[in-house]
Amino acid sequence: MSTPTPVVIDTDPGIDDALAIVLALASPELDVRALTTVGGNTGLANTTENALRLLHLCGRDDIPVAAGADVPLVRRDSRADASTHGADGFGGVVLDPAPRAADPRGAVQLLVDVVEASAAPVTLIALGPLTNVAALVAARPDVAARLERLVLMGGGARVLGNMTPAAEFNIWFDPEAAARVVAAGVPITMVGLDVTHQALTAPGDWAGLRASGGRVARAVLGMVDYYTEYHRARLGIDSTAQHDSLAVAVAIRPDLVATRAVHVDVEYVGTLTRGMTVVDLDGVGGLPPTADVALEVDAAAFNALLTSRITELDGSLR
């Protein structure tokens, strides 16, 4: 096996964030050097506490966690619908407290320190609103330029919105930040709704993991059950999109998705389209590509990777 890729995960846990983080911890292809937290699915105090508790559950109290932005750069009144991930962010699943507090350096400084200390270029995986990433780009463009790649869950090219008809949640929450990030010149893989809505997980997909009975499986399946119930009540469907896990899966196995290099902008002015990713799939604007946008996914391979890796992690904790 080749050397693991050093990664930092910027995240707002969040149910699908939790599964994504567990997938990263369970995967030998990745070396998780830090988690940085952002307000999004729930407030920053919850997302930070959730990140610490999740790492504790997985026996990884060695990975630093630092808190970043609680509110967006400009649109300070962005709020999640608390019922999506529950008021606590974990759908009411209570994990044991971690024996430590967040790293006092804060998210941007921790990112800077990790990138500067790493011999190999770091991949940043962003699973929430892009406020912290925009702050990094503004404060230390030299450090942002050293990133290997930014793999972000957000936006959409053909499937535009889950928060509004035109906007996906992470981009909608802080569109000014997203606009700055996509214009920053960092190589980007955008894992948006086009692929996360193709990679739905149905209750049967979790059967093997459920049977395994490990402590991580029990925790994340409690969250998945909450998320499934929400989807059933709201949308009348049983299946859930594991948005953030797919972004981590793409960092592990880029071949899981087919991408196209295209120019991406973020709309942050429009009254109906604020937070929309404007993806020039046909190159009509004539501008150079700014992101590799994922358009197709091998959903079966993704589901198998997600559930088998979590099962293996639990096995190693016994």
For the annotated catalytic residues, the residue numbers are 243
Applying CB under 5 A, the span of 5-13, 78-86, 262-270, 275-283 interacting with Ca ion comes to: 5-13
Q: Decide: 311 and 212 in contact? Cβ < 8 Å.
A: yes
Which positions from 179 through 238 interact with ligand BDR, judged by CB under 6 A?
none
**Complete edge-to-edge strand list for the sheet that includes strand 30-37:** 65-67, 30-37, 5-11, 123-126, 149-153, 188-191, 291-297, 257-262
17 contacts Ca ion (rule: CB under 5 A): yes
Count residues contacting Ca ion (CB under 5 A)?
6
Among residues 69, 161, 169, 309, the one that binds ligand BDR under rule CB under 6 A: 169
244 contacts ligand BDR (rule: CB under 6 A): yes
Among residues 8, 9, 16, 181, the one that binds ligand BDR under rule CB under 6 A: 16
Among residues 37, 78, 162, 198, the one that binds ligand BDR under rule CB under 6 A: 162
168 contacts ligand BDR (rule: CB under 6 A): yes
**What would you measure as the largest C-alpha separation in the chain, in angstroms?**
55
- Which CB contacts under 8 angstroms, 24+ apart, belong to 71-74? 71/39, 71/131, 72/129, 72/131, 72/173, 72/174, 72/176, 72/177, 73/131, 73/134, 73/174, 73/176, 73/177, 73/180, 74/174, 74/176, 74/268
The contacts of residue 230 (CB under 8 Å, 6+ apart) are 83, 84, 91
Question: Which residue has the closest beta carbon to ligand BDR?
Answer: 169
Residue 169 interacting partner from ligand BDR, Ca ion, none (CB closer than 5 to 8 Å by kind): ligand BDR
Cβ proximity to ligand BDR: between 40 and 64 the closer is 40
DSSP secondary structure of 117-168: H-SSPPEEEE-S-SHHHHHHHHH-HHHHTT-SEEEEE---SSS--SSBTTB-
Count residues contacting ligand BDR (CB under 6 A)?
14
178 contacts Ca ion (rule: CB under 5 A): no
Applying CB under 6 A, the span of 105-113, 163-171, 199-207, 297-305 interacting with ligand BDR comes to: 163-171
Strands 264-266 and 200-201: unpaired
Compose the 206-245 pattern: x for residues touching Ca ion by CB under 5 A, - for all others.
--------------------------------------x-
Exposure class string for 106-139: b at 16+ Cβ within 10 A, else e: bbbbbbbbbbeeeeeebbbbbbbbbbbbbbbbee
Residue 168 interacting partner from ligand BDR, Ca ion, none (CB closer than 5 to 8 Å by kind): ligand BDR
10 contacts ligand BDR (rule: CB under 6 A): no
Which positions from 22 through 41 interact with ligand BDR, judged by CB under 6 A?
41
Cβ proximity to ligand BDR: between 6 and 14 the closer is 14
Q: How many CA atoms lie within 13 A of 11 on its CB side?
A: 35
168 contacts Ca ion (rule: CB under 5 A): no
Residues within the interface to ligand BDR (CB under 6 A): 14, 16-17, 41, 84, 127-128, 153, 162, 168-170, 243-244
